Structure 1
């Protein structure tokens, strides 16, 4: 019987873990945690995992700080949260020349009609043609398709490509503010912190272009009552745009700049 080949040690995992332990010791000394508090945390974290809320908690309370530490001083559009509601395999959205792309939606989709325009370029100002763009957002009941919404799968979700000038225009509906789930351990944490659970209205957008770092970000709208107190702290000033009232629809626009690899 052949001896099983030993797995090669991952030096990067060891390096990061050693740093984690080093700084965890300093944190424990500063926080002055006792063993009961530690075991209560482990129990809460166990329930967080069993409830399936670890991605939710990490997205809402950790990811924004990770992103700011990585990108706040770098050129290009600032990233924001991926969020727990991204779904792979969205349909390709195409349109006739001169016509906006239309995100998949129900024939009687409730909500205000939104035309959203954008441009994608690199940090040198050159337009990025044929950039892959993924867009998704909630519906007028504040829910996301493929999750807790009654809408069909991939409602208000789609992917498309920028034109030769890096431009795109999408017809959809205006998203609305919503509460993150509060019926589990994440909700317990909010109660401990005496914090509300609301997120401002936003569009999720992901950009992928050859030779460039994938940009995952969000678009927010001026005047939203939850901008200053977003539970996920995902709002960035440069990700704000204005909703222009055009009578039978709203219009908004924002430009995006991608960083090279």
Structure 2
């Protein structure tokens, strides 16, 4: 039996008005780039080809590879709260061990790097502490590798752990100071290196620590990276200079006093880093004035 279907028929129930608007707006934006900036079809092909090369070399999802194009647009922070990336990093590994507060991230006995003591608070929009907030914390080792992602003999949860804030919202942990790193697979692609240079960017990522913050009162969990204020790699970061929002750059200090070093049980100079998270809860105001800014 043959069924004849009208080739012009589209089920009205399947039409998504929002999708239609977004597609048209995107096409309009491309048209403006064509008319005002000389965008060509070859330009678009060059970009997509570059992303396909990166995806093939790194194995990362294409959406993640393309994130330098759009990531900073959706970062948030315009409401005064600590900007969130609202997306889980592909380098996260569930099930990290719990550490004390204060505590120390799991690390090898000979873990290379300068000791780093990180502290801060988790607060709501009224400046009140969020007690019992769970902080998932991890970062790359000195060679730029994240534990558990490579068959390199490094313990799965090296430099990974989680803790809970105390009654005053405080957290403190010790680790080693992260360093800038570049993806070796991306560095091996000549066209990627050339594209970064053409944009005046480095293929290195600034040093950073990954966090996830979870608490029952939060509207959504917080996901993101905290950077080091004054890091010279931030302005040339390939994923976009605006990605390291000023509100995501922490104050740090180097300590070299021998008595201070001995009191903390270190063998040499160490660093400290302070960072407060200000996050929106169900009872927080829609917008706040960030610390250090005038209302």
Do both share a fold (TM > 0.5)? yes
Give ranges in structure 1 of 5+ residues lacking alignment. Answer: 1-5
Aligned to 1:77: 82
Is it true that 1:105 corresponds to 2:111 in the alignment?
no
1:256 shift after superposition: 0.9
Pairing 1:23–2:29 present: yes
Q: CA deviation at 1:122?
A: 0.5
Name the SS for the 2:66 alignment partner. helix
Residues 154-200 of structure 1 deviation map (CA, whole Å, 9 limit, x = unaligned) = 21112222122211111211111212432236434214334322222
1:65 to 67, 73, 80: 73
Contact 2:93-2:148 within 8 A present in 1 as well? no
From 232, 251, 255, give the equivalent of 1:241: 251
Summarize the Cα distance change of 1:224–1:49 in structure 2 as closer, same or farther, 3 Å threshold. closer
Is it true that 1:157 corresponds to 2:160 in the alignment?
Answer: yes
Q: How many residues align?
A: 250
The answer on 1:221 being equivalent to 2:242 is no
Contact 2:119–2:172 at 8 Å: present in 1 too? Answer: yes
Q: Distance in 2 between matches of 1:39 and 1:78?
A: 32
The separation in 2 between residues aligned to 1:222 and 1:45, in whole angstroms, is 30
Name the CA distance, whole Å, in 1 between partners of 2:72 and 2:148.
24
Is 1:94–1:101's contact at 8 Å kept on the other side of the alignment?
yes
Quick one: distance in 1 between partners of 2:93 and 2:198? Answer: 34
- Most deviating of 48-57 and 192-201: 48-57
- Distance (Å, rounded) in 2 between the aligned partners of 1:44 and 1:231: 14
Report if aligned partners of 2:133, 2:169 keep a CA contact under 8 Å in 1.
Answer: yes
9-18 or 250-259: bigger deviation? 9-18
What corresponds to 2:275 in structure 1? 254
Please name the residue that 1:121 is paired with. 123
Q: 1:112 to 1:162 in 2, by over 3 A?
A: same
TM-score between the two structures when normalised by the length of structure 1: 0.80
- Offset, 1:116: 0.9
Cα shift readout 1:225-258 (whole Å, capped 9, x = no counterpart): 3244333323233322112414233322211100
**Which has the greater radius of gyration?**
2
Mapped partners of 1:129, 1:10: distance in 2 = 42
Q: CA RMSD in A?
A: 2.9
